[in-house]
Amino acid sequence: MKYNVMTVLSDNYLVFGKLFINSIFENIDNNNINKILIVDTGLTEKTKQYMLDFPKVEIIPTLDMQASTKIHDKAWESKTYSKSTYLLDYIKGAEPFYPTILFDSDVIFYRDFFDILNSKAHKDSDVIACERNQIGRAPGHVATSTHIGCFICIKSRKAIPFVEYWISTLTESLNNGVPSGILAKESPALSKAIKEFDSNIKITNIDERVIANIETKIEDGFDDYRVYHLKSDYMYLTVKARVRQPRALPYLEKYLGK
């Protein structure tokens, strides 16, 4: 089975995009990939050409060209909270339909993960979601969701109403008067959608430690991580700090030479 892999990218986060595209071609079996879809929310022509020099890449244009300068500013929220809408628009209109995976752009692909998606546990799934794991989070962190929006795989069009509900729940959250940056919104909305649709479609989970690992150091010998998520954290608040985390630095030096 072939999959589309989608991410949303702007030039403000180009270093993430370069780590994303280089690592997916070095470490993932590309025979399982139909297209790599890069949603353009502020890419220069030079950056678009850089991405298009890799095979299977398609750039999806948008009208969102706002420049984000920091986490949770208005431009960041516009791009982040539109991911599910871009996903929905694509899976509704694409012919023929291929299962489509949405990843955040701030990931490094360590090892192939398609064996998991094609395993018996997920064979007949309509949605494969990333289940939150507290390991690797800041001391005292209080979870606000059961799942994380940094990875989602839509395996069938039966999941379209699920994505629509996720979007409507997220929109409601954005309009509820809570100041920007105070509370997470995307992942709680996703978690609510999973709970709402769990009995209507087949939703299966992959542990966050496997598909979007956030641990700066593996303490317990766990070795089944496939994707490393360079999420912002109390120790790594800037893009520069995030790409220079100990486990990410060798990839930064390998792909970007710095």
Neighbours of 218 (CB within 10 A): 14
Q: What is the Cα–Cα distance from 105 to 8, expressed in whole angstroms?
A: 6
Task: Identify the pLDDT of residue 219.
Answer: 78
pLDDT in 10s for each residue of the chain, 258 residues: 999 999 999 999 999 999 999 999 999 999 999 999 999 999 999 999 999 999 999 999 998 666 555 554 454 454 557 899 999 999 999 999 999 999 999 999 999 999 999 999 999 999 999 999 988 876 766 778 999 999 999 999 999 999 999 999 999 887 775 555 545 789 999 999 999 999 999 999 999 999 999 998 887 889 999 999 998 776 788 899 999 998 999 999 999 986
In the chain, the domains with their CATH numbers are 3-256 (3.90.550.10)
Task: Quote the pTM value.
Answer: 0.91
Q: What is residue 199's DSSP assignment?
A: T
What's the burial of 69, exposed, middle or buried (CB within 10 Å: 0-12/13-18/19+)?
Answer: exposed
CA distances (Å), origin 72, targets 4, 9, 180, 184? 28, 16, 7, 10
Task: Identify the pLDDT of residue 256.
Answer: 93
